[in-house]
Structure 1
Amino acid sequence: MEVQDITANDAVAARPLAHRLAETLKHFSHLGFTAFGGPGVHVVILRQRFVDQLGWIDSTTFADLFSLGNALPGPGSTQLAFSIATVRNGAIAGLLAFFIWSLPASCGMAGLAAGIKEIPETLPPIVLAFLTGLNTAAVGLIALAAYQLSSTATTERVTTLIVFLSAAFGICYHAPWMYPSIMVGGGMLTLAWDFRRAVLDKLLSSQAKRRMSKRREGAAQREAVAVAQTEAGIPMQVLPQRPESEHAQGAERSRSNSPEPKKETVRTDRELGVLDTGAASLRQRTAASQLAGSSTSALRQPSETSEQRAQDELSATQPAMMPLMVLSPALSAFVFASFVILLIVALAVRGALQNHGVEVPRALDLFDNMLVAGTIICGGGPVVIPLLRGYVVDPGWVSSRDFLLGFAILQAFPGPNFAFACYLGVLSLPSNPPLGAVLGFLGIFTPGIMLKLSLLPLYNRWRRNTVAKSVLRGLNAAASGLVYTAVWQLFLVGYIYTPPHAAPGQVNQSVSGPLTADPWWAVVAAGSFVATQSFGVLPALSVLLGGVAGLAWFGVISK
């Protein structure tokens, strides 16, 4: 399969595929085991490693890939890791990075599901306190990621407003269509803002041109009047002169008292007067021309200076974009068409079986549910988790208690939250757990990876376009605001406890609630934030310390 692109980095693309795969393996091998903290923290980890430390991509491209990952359905941080490896070393290297990134968590969650039935129905309170501490520390880390991402995205007032509105709408509404709508709205808002600014600049420029034209016309009219007066022999009143009557009387006395030869002198004086008047007119025309030129220059120079200054500042603040390795247009179109065919065939087969009254195999039903979830959900793991509950708990495949335990333990696992699909796949297919894990993995991850792989060439072609850059800036701000939504959603379900009394006829199972149950959890979340931000504590250690804080809380309240 050919994976060269039309604008690949020649120095990288010329290397053998084995070298590029080795480089990808070297720098991604540990991330699947150490990237704790959830999608928001993953973005910060990837930026520090591949932008700040290794320089694989520039900061602008990183922000664009992050925005596209959140605008497209599927796991946001996983698509970002896959895209970084793809644009650096090609599509095969990107797939290698994807498996390295996602398989450790997926295998771990599948193993947890295999042993979940051995866990008692009612967990000891100390275990629940430990799980609550893990969730609380994760809330602090995601809040830190939201803060860092929004600080980078809020470059002006409009992007600050987009971050706020994105977080506000995401917190207040939880419909699946809300997240893609927020992303589209953010991109359109920055586009409208930049278009308005461009129109205003053009309007001001046209007004300046009209004022300059009027000044030129006025200068030309004054010059025409001066020339006409000169040709008519009318002296220019440049300096104050004696009144006309006094001047005539003085001239008459001069003629009467002067001898005859003086007539030639008088005539010469008149000629000199005319010449002086012409010289004065010439000086006036020159001065008017210089005045008009200086006024024109005064109007033109600030505009040219400000424009040049803006271009210099833009080139100084935005580094040159690196060329990317992406699929050829034909191959990317083939990938996109393959995804569409896969989705249509999978849903059509299930629909045909249901219409003919045939029971749909559990394996096909599971794969279709995961495929639909991976296709329609934008916003990453915090958004897909509630949807998956309806797909596996409502049909009775997974108990509510097992779903809640898996979600709580997921916070302590590295890698993507979409690995939760492997956990649910194992529980949904008890007759064949490995098949359930594989179907869950492929169904939930395939849409996002195939869509990103097929759309990267379009991004590579249009990323230098002014309109595309404007839209991507809004997408980045909206995606940063949605990370605050993840903070809020996990905050509402982070506290795990067992109610003191169960409903009649039911087993007293653990449930989840908001972390406002005790002020201690707010302290733990803030401590996780501060420890990672100010003291450089690793996210994995912060999560573990959160669990220890939960055990300490249990030791205090149990006395």
Structure 2
Amino acid sequence: MSSLAAVFAVFLRLGVTSFGGPIAHLAYFRDEFVARRRWESDSAYGELVALCQFLPGPASSQVGFAVGLRRAGLAGGLAAFAAFTLPSAALMVAAAASVDTVSGPVSAGVIDGLKIVAVAVVAHAVWGMARSLAPDRPRGTIALAAAVGVLLVGGPWAPVVAIAIAGIAGALWLREPDPAASVPAAARVTVDTAPPPSAGRRVGITALVVLVVVAAAAPVLARVTGNGAVALFDAFFRAGALVFGGGHVVLPLLESAVVEPGWVDAETFLAGYGAAQALPGPLFAFAGYLGALADVGPGGVAGAVIALLAIFLPGFLLLLAVLPVWAAVRRRPRATAAVGGASAAVVGILGAALYDPVFTTAIVRLDQFALALVCFGLLALWRCPAWVIVLLGAAAGAASGALVS
């Protein structure tokens, strides 16, 4: 397969099997692209995750876009986005036609089983990333501090602040790479030798200009023209541009964008959110459901497409603009140490998310904890691919639901 076709095929499968929300998606990506395919090293992947966590937008989709960009250029980034988003977007448009199709104890059991799978997948990712990104006392301490801070402070800004503080701590505290120094290899902070993915400086500048122009022009055009499609685009573009902290954070922004003006009623909004929780792929695909049902714009598939493109666009434009700048500064000694600190913080942030919300929402009984342990063992000891674990968790959840009924 060509690189572009391989990117599309792999991300399409991930779009079908990646349940559990953005933190779980990052774990699925690491299993696929670091552990299995070796498309990324752990350090390069941790660097991408730290960068995308710091930027507004859908972090897991941005990481996927960057992986596709490195593998097959700009077309690869777009292929990764399209393939990863398509399954959930199509399902959300279908849910817009009938939001009550998923019901009953068996369906609820399947959803519970998939949540348990997310516990195992995230735990496996934290374990693997901790060994490579926080292998010594300084970085381990940064990871623990980030986990404690995120758990105690909470809120969408906590991961962003934790990464920023960890970057400063890394620049001040961690040792710069010096082969001549008598520093243990594990204590030396290094960056991956491969440069970060980038479409080039010209594309980055163009992306930044487009981002600024669209952000300024869309609300003006919506008000001047009174066009429903433009108003729909503007509402979802602003929501996508203001999100820090992942897909769940966008929900209050979307609620204020579509429920408050009366485009979608509150009951329909909440029903769609429930459906989005049960589906694989990015939670931002919820925008497709809202765009299809909104009272403004074309509605249906066309409305879904407008909403989806609008909500993802600002995050991708900003990523394209930032990557060339990051490529130019990342190899400087202080930047290298800052990357080490930020990457260690990513381990802590994922560890905090493993507890809340992943573990706390999925594990409430001993049999669920036992299933999570089995799934973790299959991943860590037997090297089973994640999609096998997804099928096992769904089957076990369905069986549990059938027994309850």
Q: Shorter-chain TM-score category?
A: 0.7 to 0.9
CA distance in 2 between counterparts of 1:426 and 1:130 reads 26
Pick the aligned partner of 1:144 from 121, 124, 127.
124
> Counterpart of 1:472 in structure 2: which amino acid?
V
Deviations 1:312-366 (A, max 9, x none): 958999687135663443442221121012112223455x56xxxx9x7664454
2:380 to 515, 521, 533: 533
Q: Which residue of structure 2 aligns with residue 489 of structure 1? A: 357
**Paired AA for residue 106 in structure 1:** A
Equivalent residue number for residue 43 of structure 1: 26
Asked if the contact 1:382/1:486 (under 8 Å) is kept, the reply is no
Structure-1-length-normalised TM-score: 0.62
* C-alpha distance in structure 2 between counterparts of 1:107 and 1:478, whole Å: 35
Q: How many residues align?
A: 399
Asked if 1:156 corresponds to 2:121, the answer is no
**Partner residue, 1:474:** 341
Tell me which residue corresponds to 2:211.
339
> Is the aligned partner of 1:62 residue 2:17?
no
1:87 correspondence with 2:67? no
CA contact (8 A) 1:146 1:480 kept: yes
CA deviations over 1:350-406 (Å, ceiling 9, x no partner): 5x56xxxx9x76644543343233222233234434554554455555566655554
Instruction: Find the aligned partners of 2:352 and 2:258 in 1 and give their Cα distance.
Output: 24
From the superposition, tell whether residues 59 and 169 of structure 1 become closer, same or farther in structure 2 (CA, over 3 Å). closer
Cα RMSD (Å): 3.6
Kept after mapping to 1: 8 A contact 2:106/2:399 = no
Q: 2:315 matched to which residue of 1?
A: 448
For residue 421 of structure 1, give the secondary structure of its aligned residue in structure 2.
helix
Query: Within 2, Cα distance between the matches of 1:371 and 1:175?
Result: 22
Amino acid at match of 1:119: T
**In 1, distance between residues paired with 2:68 and 2:195?**
13
Equivalent AA in structure 1 for residue 381 of structure 2: S
Aligned counterpart, 1:425: 291
Residue 451 of structure 1 deviates from its aligned partner by: 1.0
Q: Percent identity?
A: 28
Please give the alpha-carbon distance, in whole angstroms, between the structure 1 residues aligned to 2:387 and 2:268. Answer: 24
The 3 A distance-change label for structure 1 pair 323 and 163 is closer
User: Which consecutive unaligned segments of at least 5 residues does structure 1 have?
Assistant: 1-18, 199-305, 495-514
Map of 1:242 onto structure 2 = none
538 and 307 in structure 1: CA distance in 2 versus 1, 3 angstrom threshold: closer
Q: CA deviation at 1:39?
A: 3.5
- Tell me if structure 1 keeps the 8 A contact 2:134–2:347: no
**Which whole-Å CA distance do the structure 2 matches of 1:428 and 1:523 have between them?**
43
CA deviations on 1:8-45 (whole Å, 9 max, x unpaired) are: xxxxxxxxxxx9xx322224313222352443444344
Contact 2:23 2:122 survives alignment (8 Å)? yes
8 Å contact from structure 1 (residues 176, 376) kept in 2: no
CA drift of 1:65 comes to 1.8
In 1: Cα distance, 2:35 partner to 2:393 partner: 28
Report the Cα offset of residue 453 of structure 1.
0.9
Is the 2:30–2:125 Cα contact (8 Å) retained in structure 1? no
Quick one: distance in 1 between partners of 2:148 and 2:191?
Answer: 33
Which structure 2 residues correspond to residues 482-521 of structure 1 after superposition, within 5 A?
482-487=349-354, 488-491=356-359, 493=361, 515-516=363-364, 518-521=365-368
Q: Tell me what 1:96 maps to.
A: 79
In structure 2, how many angstroms separate the alpha carbons of the residues matched to 1:470 and 1:29? 36
The one-letter amino acid paired with 1:543 is V
Equivalent residue letter for 2:346: A
Per the normalisation by structure 2, the TM-score is: 0.82
Tell whether 2:329 aligns with 1:462. Answer: yes
8 Å Cα contact 2:273/2:286 also seen in 1: yes
Q: 1:490 to 1:44 in 2, by over 3 A?
A: closer
Corresponding letter in the other structure for 1:157? R
User: What does residue 201 of structure 2 align with?
Assistant: 329
User: Which of 191, 211, 233 in structure 2 is aligned with 1:367?
Assistant: 233
Counterparts of residues 88-127 of structure 1 (less than 5 Å):
88-116=71-99, 119=101, 123-127=103-107
8 Å contact kept, 1:429–1:436: no
Point out the structure with max Rg over C-alpha: 1
Paired with 2:361 and 2:270, the residues of 1 have a C-alpha distance of 9
Q: Which moved more, 1:360-369 or 1:338-347?
A: 360-369
Decide whether the 8 Å contact of 2:150 with 2:159 is kept in 1.
yes
**Cα offset for 1:187?**
1.0
1:418 alignment partner AA? F
Deviation at 1:102, TM superposition (A): 2.3
Counterpart secondary structure, 2:198: coil
